[in-house]
Amino acid sequence: MTTQVKALFDKIWDNYLTVTPSAKNVHQLLGSGNDLINDHVAYRTFNIDKVCIGKLSAHLEALGYVEKGEYNFEAKKLYAKHFEHADNTLPKVFISQLLVEEFSDEAQTIIRKMVDQIDEKAIADESFLYSGTHWQVSSEDYKALLAESEYAAWMAAWGYRANHFTVSINHLQNYNDIETVNQTLKDAGFVLNASGGEIKGDPQVKLEQSSTMADQAVVEFSDRALEIPSCFYEFAKRYPLEDGTLYTGFVAASADKIFESTNAA
Ligand code: OOG
Ligand code: NI
Residue 33 pLDDT > 90, yes or no? no
Residue 84 CA, ligand 2 centroid: distance in Å: 14
| Percent of the chain residues topping a pLDDT of 70 | 100
CB atoms within 10 A of CB 216: 14
pLDDT tens sequence across 115-142: 999 999 999 999 999 999 999 999 999 9
Counting atoms of ligand 1 from 1, which one is nearest the CA of 163?
Answer: 10
Residues in the chain: 265
CA distance 221 to 241: 47
pLDDT band at 35 (very low <50, low <70, confident <90, very high): confident
In this predicted structure, the answer to whether residue 160 has a pLDDT above a threshold of 90 is: yes
DSSP H or E run through 46: strand 38-46
pLDDT category of residue 1 using cuts at 50, 70 and 90: confident
- Give yes or no for residue 27 having a pLDDT over 90: yes
Burial class (CB in 10 A: 0-12, 13-18, 19+), 241: exposed
User: Which atom of ligand 1 lies nearest, measured to the CA of 40?
Assistant: 5
Q: Which amino acid is at 207?
A: L
Q: Using most ligand atoms within 8 A of CB, pick from 46, 56, 79, 94 the residue to mutate for ligand 1.
A: 94
Backbone torsions φ then ψ of 200, nearest 5 degrees: -100, 135
Q: Is the pLDDT of residue 208 over 90?
A: yes
**pLDDT for position 207:** 98
CA angle at residue 87 from 5 to 46, to 5 degrees? 55
Q: Ligand 2 centre and the CA of 81: distance in Å?
A: 12
| Ligand 1 site, CB within 6 A | 42, 44, 94, 96, 163, 209, 234, 250, 254-255, 258-259
DSSP sequence for 149-194: -HHHHHHHHH-BS-SEEEEEGGG-SS---HHHHHHHHHHTTPPB--
User: Which ipTM did the prediction report?
Assistant: 0.99
CB 119 within 8 A of CB 134: yes
Which whole number is the average pLDDT over 22-39? 91
Q: Which residue out of 77, 233, 234, 238 has the highest number of ligand 1 atoms within 8 Å of its CB and is therefore the one to mutate?
A: 234
Predicted confidence (pLDDT) per residue in 47-98, tens digit:
999 999 999 999 999 999 999 999 999 999 999 999 999 999 999 999 999 9
- CB-based contacts of 120: which residues, under 8 Å, 6+ apart? 50
- Which ligand lies nearest to the CA atom of residue 205 in the structure? 1
Domain spans, the chain? 2-262
Question: How far does residue 41's CA lie from ligand 1's centre (Å)?
Answer: 9
Probe target for ligand 1 pocket from 40, 231, 259, 262, with the most ligand atoms within 8 Å of CB: 259
Overall average pLDDT of the 230-245 stretch: 98
Architecture label for domain 2-262? Roll (3.10)
% helix, strand, coil for the chain, step of 5:
40, 25, 35
Q: What is the mean pLDDT of the chain?
A: 97
What is the mean pLDDT of the segment spanning 174-188? Answer: 97
Closest to 257 in 3D by CA, of 189, 211, 207, 202: 211
Overall average pLDDT of the 24-40 stretch: 91
Whose Cα sits closest to atom 2 in ligand 1? 259
Which tens digit of pLDDT belongs to each residue from 243-263? Answer: 999 999 999 999 999 999 999
